[in-house]
Chains A and B, each alone.
Chain A
Amino acid sequence: MIERWALISGLKGDLDTYELIQKDLKKTPGNITLFVLGDMIGPEKNCNKLLHRLINPKSNDLQPWCIYGWWEEQILLESGYRGNQRAEALRINKGEEVVKSLINAVDKSFLDWIAALQFGFVELDCGLIHGSSKDVGDDLTLDTPPLTLLDRLTRLQVNRLFTARSTQQFHLELTEGILNSEVHDLTGNHKKEQKVPQKAVIGVGAGKNYTLYDVGTDNTQFVRAGYQSEKKKNGFGLHF
């Protein structure tokens, strides 16, 4: 049976969208593993119902495998889970009101569960992470310099990096490249030619926009929840 990963992020407390995605995935052929790449919470909506559902999936739900994202990091910072640090970046950029809204959007009883979430998963030769291996807030997009993308792939020692922070859906493949390195030290000169390995960075999207990844064929399909049936008609799902 085809093995597929469904990669979602940026639900920000939106249980309706989550249910829509679950419904979509039930119709999607193959053996599907569902990864939630962070930002399950946000300041706009009460997130308790979604969190409860993620922790206690319904019997016919696909089991969600969750990691923490930028918004989870902010609530953990503000709630004292990161030592003396607080969510200062959020406070400066969005203001005190947003900090309060975030705190109010999540019942304290969920904080331990959030704090126990992992930074990322490494599955096969793929890294699944909210931002990047450098930082949960690392905003990788199509416009990020390839050198930076390569660095993030190298740090995690993976060939595919699935990222969610930018909220964009994209598939950027490093196809070719070369770099000559010459090191001179006290033992002499050492020359090396390094080639760009075949690696890719995939932006999985956010909210209703999510990504299906076919593990066997390495194909990425960008999907919008609720449009599965229209996908075939309009060709919205993009294969790469």
Chain B
Amino acid sequence: MNQAVISCLHANLPAVEAVLKDIELQGITNITCLGDLVGYGPQPNEVIELIKEKKIATCQGCWDEDVVDGLDACDCSYPSQIAERRGHFAHQWTTEKLTKENKDFLANLPYSIRKDKCLFVHGSPNSQHEYLLPDMDAFAALERVENAKAEILFCGHTHQPYIRELANGSIAVKVKNSGSKDIQKKEMNLPMRRIVNAGSVGEPRHGGTKATYVVYNDITNDVKIREVEYDIELTCKAIINAGLPPIFAWRLKNGFEFAERAEDASHVCER
């Protein structure tokens, strides 16, 4: 059966509406959302209300956490000082606009959702702020899935959709401890695991302007990345009218969101 996984909606209502329409046209009713309903975009309340209305199972993203708990993210989550300042501005704007009911909704979202062999998280099983980039060290990527006791890990946060299969792995080790003179040798086979990044509905960073999400078939195990066109001009106008930084509209319109993506795959906040 097909199910859709969406992520990083970022208060972009026209994009969310277009993606939900695309999902509906395929006859898919099972949808999971990996968080970041708000942040950067101009329609945070509208997007939350749509998700509530459609009863979409959602886990909490880093933006959802931060607008509730205050700016809790470590500053190193931002790739630059300018990104941080713009982010803080958008954070303040979003916090002021959100209704109490919608803040409560975000506050009560779970960190992860587990469905059989699938685990759904925003960033990684370790943290909502950790980026699992497609080129991160393969063993470290496998460790994230394996330690989470999942076979398929669905994540977002990077805004770049991808499907990564980690297979045919093995590790050999040589062990010595103080209690023994012998050197033990062990070899173990590693399980096959997959990481699926759903990309971003509201702020894609794959180099194009289309919203992205994924469709997963839990019988065939097949995963497809979907790209959906939406009325970007409408969102850009709303960004400007809302008084958000015009650069957000410029990036969205030109597919330049990638200019501000994080580079450090292995970074984990130490706070």
Contact = CB atoms under 8 A, between A and B. Distances in A.
A182 interface: yes
B266 interface: yes
Interface string B101-135: 00000000000000000000000001000000011
Nearest to A237: B178
B208 A147 contact: no
Contacts, number: 137
Interface residues of A, number: 42
A152 to B, nearest CB: 9
Contact of A183 (B135, B143, B174): B135
Contacts of A147: 139, 142-143, 146-147, 171, 190
A176 B187 CA distance: 9
Contact of B168 (A142, A168, A178, A190): A178
A175 B173 contact: yes
B138 interface: yes
A151 B143 contact: yes
B161 A169 contact: no
A194 interface: yes
B115 to A, nearest CB: 22
B146 A194 contact: no
B180 to A, nearest CB: 8
Contacts of A222: 178
A178 B169 contact: yes
A29 to B, nearest CB: 21
A180 interface: yes
Interface in A114-148: 119, 134, 142, 145-148
A179 interface: yes
B164 interface: yes
B139 A150 contact: yes
Nearest to B185: A175
B176 A175 contact: no
Contacts of B165: 180-182, 184
A171 interface: yes
B208 A186 contact: yes
A169 B175 CA distance: 11
B181 interface: yes
Contact of B139 (A169, A179, A203): A179
B178 A205 contact: yes
A61 to B, nearest CB: 26
B167 interface: yes
Contacts of A235: 181
Nearest to A240: B176
Secondary structure call for the A interface: strand
Interface string B48-82: 00000000000000000000000000000000000
Contacts of A205: 178
B127 to A, nearest CB: 10
Given A179-B166, A185-B225, A172 B175 contact: yes
A192 interface: yes
Given A151-B139, A170-B175, A170-B176, A183 B134 contact: yes
B214 to A, nearest CB: 11
Contact of A181 (B138, B188, B206, B266): B138
Interface of B: 126, 134-135, 137-143, 146-147, 160-178, 181, 183, 185, 187-188, 190, 206-208, 212, 225, 227, 266, 268, 270
Given A147-B142, A180-B138, A183-B135, 12 more contacts: A147-B147, A150-B143, A151-B139, A151-B143, A174-B173, A175-B185, A178-B170, A179-B167, A183-B134, A184-B225, A238-B178, A238-B181
Interface of A: 119, 134, 142, 145-148, 150-151, 154-155, 168-186, 190, 192, 194, 196, 203, 205, 209, 220, 222, 235, 238, 240
